């Protein structure tokens, strides 16, 4: 499944991660560097599992922990209506 940011969401990378703005609601969300890494991997077309594997390798994490972290990021972004399935 390919994912995109919602059409009303813009992202600005910062020194310590990124800020997402939902332009219709005016709400902001801040992502830490790990959240940005996961989001960019997903937006580049990688699966949750691929993003988790890359995260685990990059930070020498347990694969199961990385999968839980990726799932949590994806769930939070979806719940906030920031991330949607690509059409």
Rounded Cα distance, 45 and 11, in Å: 17
CB of 63 closer than 8 Å to CB of 40: no
For tokens 């020194």, name the residue: 15
Report in angstroms the alpha-carbon separations of 24 from 4, 13, 45, 51, 85: 17, 20, 26, 29, 19
Show the tokens assigned to 57: 């390798």
Alpha carbons 64 and 21: distance in angstroms, whole number = 30
The pLDDT profile of the chain, 87 residues, written as one tens digit per residue, is: 688 999 999 999 999 999 999 999 999 999 999 999 999 999 999 999 999 999 999 999 999 999 999 999 999 999 999 999 887
């Amino acid at each position: 499944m390919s994912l995109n940011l919602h059409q009303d969401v813009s992202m600005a990378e910062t020194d310590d991660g990124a800020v997402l703005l939902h332009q219709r609601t005016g709400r902001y969300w801040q992502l830490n560097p790990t959240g940005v890494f996961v989001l960019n991997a997903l937006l580049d077309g990688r699966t949750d599992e691929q993003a988790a594997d890359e995260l685990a390798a990059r930070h020498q994490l347990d694969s199961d922990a990385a999968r839980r972290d990726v799932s949590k990021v994806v769930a939070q972004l979806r719940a906030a209506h920031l991330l949607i399935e690509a059409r």
